[in-house]
Amino acid sequence: MFDVGRSSVIIMIDIHAHILPGLDDGPATTADALEMARMAVEDGIRIIIAAPHCLNGIFNNYREGVMSACSKFNLILRKEHIPLEVLPGAEVHLDMEILDDMERGRLMTLNDTGRYFFLELPDQFIPRTLVGFIARLEKMNVTPIIAHPERNMAIQRDTTLLEDLISAGTLSQITARSLTGGFGPHALQCCLRIIDLNLVHFMASDAHSPGTRPPVLSKAVEKLSALTGRTEAERMVFEAPMMVIEGREPGT
């Protein structure tokens, strides 16, 4: 689907970044978004899945608006000769509206395949009803990817909670900045534990700005390589994201 090529420098896909300007708490201006794009390319990223917030009580970025914003931003990237492709997606906060919005085609799935979407959990706990909710999504052939589980306080205390969610049918995505210590010691230690337990499928930047939360992965990939081996680290930032982009089943 994408001719990203290969070189001595690893080519990466950032599966989760807030890069579309003016949609949420990501870049407020096109200039900031373009600066983020240039930083991503310099770091070795060639594809980004934009993941503006949805259903979090502040932002509701549904499919139509995200698709339009993504198309407009890609036109700007081409005019600026920035070799980056931005694909549509969303980071959807856990809410019972998800099921109805999914059935109505309002919810933005990753690259609009209808197969995967980012699920943002509450910060401090895991709802008891979540496993049943996942089962209902599975009947719709939709797989949630848990965004940044290492930053959830309940999972930090008990990683078996994440294991239960993955057993129920979810995947998980850690944040590069968590692994390099940028979200504090609790997120870092949780990150290390769930990597060791093989509970991580993707690593992404969760970028929000060109300053404090930039779209960079290479430093974290080096650290991840020391923990998992180079092949597995590269899989989490290229092969596994490509599976999502193409709407394929894990392992295919």
Question: What pLDDT score does 6 carry?
Answer: 40
pLDDT digits (tens, 9 = 90+) for 151-185: 999 999 999 999 999 999 999 999 999 999 999 99
Question: In this predicted structure, what is the pLDDT of residue 158?
Answer: 97
Q: Are 175 and 204 in contact (CB under 8 A)?
A: yes
Under 8 Å between Cβ of 183 and 147: no
DSSP letter at 150 equals G
Q: Read off the tokens for 64.
A: 């139509």
> In the chain, what are the domains?
12-245 (3.20.20.140)
Integer CA distances (angstroms), 220 to 13, 85, 104, 114, 216, in order: 14, 22, 38, 29, 8
CB atoms within 10 A of CB 49: 25
Rounded CA separation 142/145 (Å): 10
Confidence at residue 9, expressed as pLDDT on a 0 to 100 scale: 55
- pTM of the predicted model as reported, rounded to 2 decimal places: 0.94
Amino acid at 98: I
Residue 28 backbone zone (phi > 0: left; psi -120 to 50: alpha; other: beta): alpha
Burial class (CB in 10 A: 0-12, 13-18, 19+), 187: buried
The residue ranges of the chain whose pLDDT is under 70 are: 1-9, 251-252
